[in-house]
């Protein structure tokens, strides 16, 4: 009887190990998205949640927007490190906000265990097409030449002080040695509308957002801000071709609370990296003009640290503050 009990117990243990993680733990995994439903970050999180259910079990998306992403990120930082809470780490929450806000509810460098980068989306330098034609600007070199000859005559819009578009603009002004007036708007959509209506001359916009208006001819794409050209706009050069070393991407990835055991982090990484590398994910992310990036936890941690260093300099030079 004892031998049979041990055999049954052994079979049960093996079955538990083979079961999807959240089923074995008796609870679903929650994936905290620090932004509202419907945006590219939310869409990609939901896609991956569906792809990992066979290996991890049920993954429930929990949207916790607010505070520029800080509220949702803080939920992850303070969650139990049991492998059942993961969250989105974005360029704002883990690279920009630590320098933009005077008080942060979490420490971006120490309160999280990196799992994997998920996505990289280039930003793009775009001009109002009518303004570009009127000013005879067809390239980054043309824009820089005009700005140097006409200091202060150009302006650019962004989704607000400290936004990615604002900081990209400040980095561009610094590297190009030009001056242009920054006009902040209350979000990316109003900034794009201002560009389309001719209220501002150029913007640094997310490629996924700008692409429809580039293709329709309403906006002229001068350069992508990634270190290399984008497959979505192969005829548009990289800004680094004119300003060597210039590189700003929109990115996001997955993190867990800092004390999550390494074996749990490894299992989460394995499942999500496999999902990111799947043909379906690459196809669906491609429709969002996003490039899947499945990095190791160590690689993602090093990448976020480098991004914090980069944005510390940019934010401080810009003087942008939120509070």
Summarize the confidence of residues 295-307 as an average pLDDT. 97
Q: Where are the domains of the chain?
A: 2-120+251-318, 122-241
> Model confidence over 28-76: pLDDT tens digits?
999 999 999 988 899 999 999 999 999 999 999 999 999 989 999 999 9
Q: Which residues pair with 254 in a beta bridge?
A: 88, 116
- Residue 256: pLDDT above 90? yes
Pairing status of strand 112-128 against strand 249-257: antiparallel
Fold of 122-241: D-Maltodextrin-Binding Protein; domain 2 (3.40.190)
Hey, do 2-120+251-318 and 122-241 end up sharing a CATH topology, with the first three levels equal? yes
2 versus 298: the higher-pLDDT residue is 298
221 versus 227: the higher-pLDDT residue is 221
- Residue 226: pLDDT above 50? yes
Cβ atoms of residues 114 and 255 within 8 Å = yes
Taken as a whole, the chain contains a residue count of 323
- Per-residue model confidence (pLDDT) at position 281: 87
- Residue 24: pLDDT above 80? no
Strand ranges, E, within 129-201: 155-158, 181-184
**pLDDT band at 21; cut points 50, 70, 90:** low
* 246: Cβ contacts below 8 Å, ≥ 6 apart: 171, 172, 175, 225, 239, 240
- Per-residue model confidence (pLDDT) at position 7: 38
- Specify which of 113-117, 148-152, 159-163, 181-185 reaches the highest per-range mean pLDDT: 113-117
Mean pLDDT of all residues belonging to the chain: 89
What is the CATH code of the structural domain delimited by 2-120+251-318? Answer: 3.40.190.150
Summarize the confidence of residues 216-220 as an average pLDDT. 95
- Per-residue model confidence (pLDDT) at position 35: 93
**What's the pTM value of the predicted model, to 2 decimals?**
0.84
- Per-residue model confidence (pLDDT) at position 4: 42
Two tokens at 17? Answer: 């190990």
- Residue 101: pLDDT above 90? yes
């Amino acid at each position: 009887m004892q031998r049979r009990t041990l055999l049954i117990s052994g079979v049960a243990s093996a079955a538990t190990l083979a079961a999807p993680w959240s089923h074995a733990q008796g609870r679903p995994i929650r994936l905290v998205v620090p932004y509202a439903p419907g945006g590219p970050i939310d869409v990609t999180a939901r896609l991956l949640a569906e792809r990992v259910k066979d290996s991890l079990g049920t993954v429930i998306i929990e949207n916790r927007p607010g505070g520029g992403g800080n509220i949702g990120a803080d939920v992850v930082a303070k969650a139990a490190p049991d492998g059942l809470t993961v969250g989105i780490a974005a360029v704002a929450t883990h690279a920009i906000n630590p320098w933009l806000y005077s008080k942060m509810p979490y420490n971006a460098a120490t309160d999280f265990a990196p799992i994997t980068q998920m996505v990289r989306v280039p930003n793009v330098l775009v001009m109002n097409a009518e303004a570009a034609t009127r000013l005879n600007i067809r390239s980054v070199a043309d824009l820089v030449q005009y700005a140097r000859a006409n200091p202060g005559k150009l302006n650019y819009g962004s989704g607000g002080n400290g936004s990615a578009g604002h900081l990209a603009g400040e980095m561009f002004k610094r590297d190009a040695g030009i001056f242009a007036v920054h006009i902040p708007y209350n979000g990316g959509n109003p900034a794009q509308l201002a560009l389309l209506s001719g209220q501002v001359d150029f913007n640094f916009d997310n490629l996924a957002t700008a692409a429809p208006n580039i293709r329709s001819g309403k906006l002229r794409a001068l350069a992508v801000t990634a270190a290399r050209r984008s497959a979505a706009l192969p005829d548009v050069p990289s800004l680094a071709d004119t300003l060597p070393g210039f590189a700003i991407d929109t990115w996001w990835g997955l993190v867990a609370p800092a004390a999550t055991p390494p074996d749990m982090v490894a299992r989460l990484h394995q499942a999500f990296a496999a999902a990111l590398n799947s043909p379906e994910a690459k196809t669906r992310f491609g429709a969002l003009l996003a490039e899947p990036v499945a990095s190791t936890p160590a690689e993602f941690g090093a990448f976020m640290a480098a991004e914090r260093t980069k944005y510390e300099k940019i934010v401080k030079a810009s003087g942008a503050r939120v509070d």
